[in-house]
Amino acid sequence: MDQFTLNLLVVGATFALYIGIAIWARAGSTSEFYAAGRGVHPVLNGMATGADWMSAASFISMAGIISFGGYDTSAYLMGWTGGYVLLAMLLAPYLRKFGKFTVPEFIGDRFYSQTARTVAVICLIVASLTYVIGQMTGVGVAFSRFLEVENTTGLFIGAAIVFFYAVLGGMKGITYTQVAQYVVLIIAYTIPAIFISLQITGNPIPALGLFSDVKETGEPLLTTLNGLITDLGFSEYTKQSDTTLNMFLFTVSLMIGTAGLPHVIVRFFTVPKVADARSSAGWALVFIALLYLTAPAVAAMARLNLVNTFYPNGTAAEAVSLESIENDERLNWVRNWEQTGLLAFDDKNGNGLIEYNASAENELTVNRDIITLANPEIANLPGWVIALVAAGGLAAALSTAAGLLMAISSAVSHDLIKAQINPAISEKGELLSARIAMGVAIAIATYLGLNPPGFAAQTVALAFGLAAASIFPALMMGIFSKRINNKGAVAGMLAGLIVTIVYIFLHKGWFFVASTASFSDADPLLLSIKSTSFGAIGAMINFAVAYVVSNATEEPPVEIQALVEDIRVPRGAGTAVDH
């Protein structure tokens, strides 16, 4: 059976599974559409949260960006996993105790203000749409290579699948679909990693293989990789090149952005009890760790295999010939990925060799998003493994896209239409408006996915910065401070969001008055802080503005202060008990 047919069968089978689950778990009420009827088991919810969380950025792009960025990009791992600890300890149980459907609903009620609720909706939509661009980009990448269709066509197919199961099933359908998607993606990620770790180091556990000796050289894998890429003019893989300030702020931005992402937070509204929310967060961390402990090994081994592909003799003196790329079956993967436009080579000096190096004469261009997907082909693994990776990449992108679109849909239908525009709307009407909002959000996300501002992980990092600067501080102050009032919360959210957006746009050169060459990631506007790291600064501005404005205006009503106390302190705490 040829590879295309195998890919089609495996991907088609997983799509059929997702659609079947959506039909079985279709939502019949607003409670099921928004929160899956609050009846999801903590372990299943942890698994669904893992799939919701491990997006195209985690599955497709993270290993790629670490593979080319080395030590500097390890912040992705630290920030994204550390954020779950914050979420489990500081937010999830308290928000579940509040008992609402959406993040803007909590902010609106806690800060006794429809304005605060509306601003939260705006922050949610901005962050979620930015995030979903990365998912749609990942869908296009996977489809364009493995199903041999245009990137645009792949986006439309992926959007149609998400439209079907998300619009039909709402949170209930999405939850159980994400459980299946987690199983698909974690198997698809770990099996190739095990194969490749065995090939290179003889160790079947990739996380341990990263620190094992390479069989061919007898040296540690990272030492071997450092030697190879420095010979080609690249920085050492294990060397820190970025500033400590930027790395610290980037890690913080990812951590608090994780804890403030609405599509992750709403997952904890689907469990029966407060204790289940905390348990779900713990299980989610376990399920996420299975991939995140493997990712650094996938990244390093992929880079080693990539270098060895173009320098098969292990030295920088002998690059692979153009003739070999065109005729050698072992290099089929190069030709396959060249057709997608995500890998390109050009014999600039006409010597018949494709030289991969850090100089201006580099003749190989590799898009970061292909590393995980191409890894099995680079290592000449069996066809069924390649097909499995294709299905896993699509599962990761579609699961997170569905969760993000669910958050957007709920905010529009529940927090705008039901809460403010038409409070008298019937449950049936609200359910219809939620489904229409979902459809519109999918259409917008598809359009933006056709013109992304960066590769998947980079685009997603911007979304984390926006969530960190706007939503996370409002949630923290709403839970842990009785003094922050509605005026402070609104001013803080707007200040954090606007300052962060302006910095990102200036840094990226997206304003019409700015020059992309002048405002690139290599030329930060403030100290060494890049656009992807500015969310931490935006959050500090949010906290500071909210504190100053709140203390300059009236205290929140007594009943609101009592509400905050009730959220944080368990009922009956401090009361005498007879023994």
Task: Report pLDDT digits (tens) over 281-311.
Answer: 888 888 988 988 999 999 999 999 999 888 8
| Pair of tokens at residue 555 | 């205290």
403 Cβ neighbours under 8 A, 6+ residues apart: 52, 174, 178, 263, 264, 266, 267
- What is the Cα–Cα distance from 314 to 399, expressed in whole angstroms? 40
- What is the Cα–Cα distance from 356 to 365, expressed in whole angstroms? 8
Q: Residue 499 CB: number of other CB atoms within 10 A?
A: 17
Three-class DSSP category at 22: helix
Query: What integer is the mean pLDDT of 169-188?
Result: 85
pLDDT of 517 higher than 60 = no
Query: What integer is the mean pLDDT of 137-165?
Result: 76
Taking a C-beta distance cutoff of 8 angstroms, is the pair 407, 262 a contact?
yes
Query: What integer is the mean pLDDT of 539-556?
Result: 96
What percentage of the chain carries pLDDT values higher than 70?
A: 91
What percentage of the chain carries pLDDT values higher than 90?
A: 24
The pLDDT value given to residue 275:
82
Closest CA to 374 of 60, 10, 155: 60
pLDDT of 109 higher than 80 = yes
pLDDT of 548 higher than 90 = yes
3-state DSSP percent of the chain in helix, strand and coil, to 5: 75, 0, 25
The pLDDT value given to residue 488:
96
Query: What integer is the mean pLDDT of 408-422?
Result: 87
pLDDT of 52 higher than 50 = yes
Closest CA to 538 of 457, 467, 459: 467
Query: What integer is the mean pLDDT of 218-226?
Result: 94
pLDDT of 456 higher than 70 = no
Closest CA to 114 of 406, 410, 404, 417: 417
- What is the Cα–Cα distance from 285 to 64, expressed in whole angstroms? 22
The pLDDT value given to residue 518:
36
Q: 213 or 57: whose pLDDT is higher?
A: 213
Query: What integer is the mean pLDDT of 68-76?
Result: 89
Q: What architecture is the 3-302+382-568 domain classified under in CATH?
A: Up-down Bundle (1.20)
| Pair of tokens at residue 222 | 């990272």
Taking a C-beta distance cutoff of 8 angstroms, is the pair 229, 413 a contact?
no
Query: What integer is the mean pLDDT of 535-559?
Result: 95
In tens, the pLDDT along 326-374 reads: 888 888 888 888 887 778 888 888 888 888 888 878 888 888 878 888 8
- What is the Cα–Cα distance from 221 to 453, expressed in whole angstroms? 34
pTM: 0.81
- What is the Cα–Cα distance from 163 to 55, expressed in whole angstroms? 17
180 Cβ neighbours under 8 A, 6+ residues apart: 14, 17, 18, 21
pLDDT of 566 higher than 90 = no
The pLDDT value given to residue 516:
37
Q: 570 or 213: whose pLDDT is higher?
A: 213
The pLDDT value given to residue 212:
95
pLDDT of 579 higher than 60 = no
Domains in the chain: boundaries? 3-302+382-568, 303-377
376 Cβ neighbours under 8 A, 6+ residues apart: 192, 195, 196, 385, 386, 389
The pLDDT value given to residue 452:
65
* Packed helices 151-201 and 295-310: angle between N→C axes, nearest 10 degrees: 90
- What is the Cα–Cα distance from 507 to 166, expressed in whole angstroms? 35
- What is the Cα–Cα distance from 144 to 337, expressed in whole angstroms? 9
pLDDT classification of 509: cutoffs 50, 70, 90: low
pLDDT of 199 higher than 90 = yes
Three-class DSSP category at 437: helix
pLDDT of 522 higher than 70 = no
pLDDT of 454 higher than 60 = no
Closest CA to 157 of 2, 48, 7, 15: 15
In tens, the pLDDT along 235-291 reads: 999 999 888 998 999 899 989 988 888 878 888 888 888 888 888 888 888 898 898
The pLDDT value given to residue 459:
60
In tens, the pLDDT along 15-51 reads: 888 888 878 877 777 777 777 778 889 899 989 888 8
Low-confidence winner among 61-75, 132-146, 370-384, 491-505 (lowest mean pLDDT): 132-146
